[in-house]
Amino acid sequence: MHTTSGIWPQDRADFVELLHQALEEREIRDALRADPSGEAAVRLRSRALAAADEIAAAADEEYRVYLAARATSTGRGPATGSTGLLLLAVLAPPVSAAAGVVLLLIGYGAGLWGPVSEFALSARTAGWLLTGFGAVTAISGLLALLVTAVRGQGGRRPGRSGTERARRRWRRALLDRGVLPYLRRHLPDPSLPG
């Protein structure tokens, strides 16, 4: 069975929080009160922190599910290629339309001073092509933005809630099968002298 080889650094805070919660459980707290100096509680907490990866192994399956859900939910944004495509769709319309208008002005302006030259016809043709390209990319850009917005609304929320469910399952398993049993096994024996 594949293991996660310990808790990832960003999840250590969850472990510490669960450890604190477990130390406040009535049976654990009552057993630790037998030591009025409080040293037993400090030792037990330190020992559990040092054994975090060993303790976490009890909830390894739930942790792997949580890591997979988290990776999926953070990997749902637009890919770099589609981000570039969106950027192109936003920049191309105004640039090509502006260039098209300039070429149309040059082409029609050149025709005002005499017979229409080959240059004036080429400028007009290029101007109309660029203006048309600007219109097409503007429509495509709007559609791309609309599709991206719809994917963002429909795709990310379930990913986040699925990640939160997986996180809650992992935390419950870690507390019930890892932290609490570990603390119970390492509670000081009240029959032994302190």
* Amino acid letter for position 20: H
In which residue are the tokens 């909830």 written? 59
Classify 189 as helix, strand or coil: coil
Under a CB-based contact definition with an 8 Å cutoff, are residues 122 and 146 in contact? no
Q: Phi and psi at residue 131, in whole multiples of 5°?
A: -65, -40
Domain boundaries, the chain: 11-75+173-185, 80-162
DSSP state of 76: -
Average pLDDT over residues 135-143: 80
What's the rounded mean pLDDT across residues 64-92? Answer: 71
Structure token pair of residue 105: 């002005």
- Is the pTM of the predicted complex or chain greater than 0.85? no
pLDDT of residue 50: 94
Across all residues in the chain, what is the average pLDDT? Answer: 83
Rounded mean pLDDT of 81-87?
61
Whole-number pLDDT of residue 26: 94
**Residue 81 pLDDT level (bands cut at 50, 70, 90):** low
**Least-confidence region, from 59-68, 86-95, 101-110:** 86-95
Whether the CB-CB separation of 92 and 134 falls below 8 Å is answered with yes
Residue 180 in contact with residue 25, Cβ under 8 Å? yes
Return the pLDDT at 116. Answer: 79
What distance in Å separates the CA atoms of residue 138 and residue 167, rounded to the nearest whole number?
Answer: 42
pLDDT at 193 over 60: no
- Report the chain's terminal Cα–Cα distance, integer Å: 41
Whether the pLDDT of residue 95 is over 70: the answer is yes
Instruction: Give the confidence band of 190 by pLDDT, cuts at 50, 70, 90.
Output: low
Spell out the residues 6+ positions from residue 191 whose beta carbon is closer than 8 angstroms to its own.
none
- Here the tokens at position 104 are 């149309």
| The predicted structure's pLDDT at residue 89 | 67
Which among 46, 44, 19, 47 is positioned nearest to 188, based on CA atoms?
44
Contact criterion met (CB below 8 Å) for 135 and 92: no
